[in-house]
Copies of this chain bind each other. A is one copy, B any other.
């Protein structure tokens, strides 16, 4: 049996998340102490585990409730399929947005004039966004995969030398090949 604080640490959630789950009837402590403190049982913990699993798939809490409260297996299946399907639409939409932005950047602003943004500014920008090197690498990979030409122009606009550029594009392609195989 656990306090709310212990559960929060175990699952790396915030306190208010658990309070919220309680308020919507998704997960509540099965008992309270004399001072009205929540006491979560092992069963409660298992339910929370389940909840986290489905959250990782981006299932809405209302649907998770349905899954956990139903015994029928095909409730789960159809909800997961629904989500899988939605994800495709979502990804499609985001890709279109990306494409659209690449279009604007290409024929209007960034890539026509040289050195609009310097390498230092760019790196600072990445750090301001809380990105580590791995994330930056992923970003280049993705840029290379989606818009190789723009990637080239972008790197030029940072004022990099041809050698540096081909180095970066080199591993961008290589790594993304590794991943798709």
Question: Which positions in A face B, CB cutoff 8 Å?
Answer: 53, 56-58, 73-74, 76-78, 80-85, 87-92, 94-95, 97-98, 100-102, 104-105, 109-110, 116-117, 125, 129, 135, 138-139, 142-143
Contacts and interface: CB of A to CB of B under 8 A. Distances in A.
Given A85-B129, A87-B94, 5 more contacts: A57-B104, A77-B105, A80-B105, A88-B98, A90-B94
Contact of A116 (B77, B85, B91): B77
Given A78-B117, A125-B81, A98 B87 contact: yes
A123 to B, nearest CB: 13
10 contacts: A56-B97, A74-B116, A80-B110, A84-B102, A84-B105, A87-B97, A88-B139, A90-B94, A91-B95, A91-B142
Contacts of A125: 78, 81-82
Contacts of A81: 105, 110, 117, 125
Nearest to A98: B87
Contacts of A135: 89
B98 A129 contact: no
B84 A98 contact: yes
Contacts of A56: 97, 100
Contacts of A129: 82, 85
A88 to B, nearest CB: 5
Contact of A77 (B74, B95, B109): B109
A56 to B, nearest CB: 6
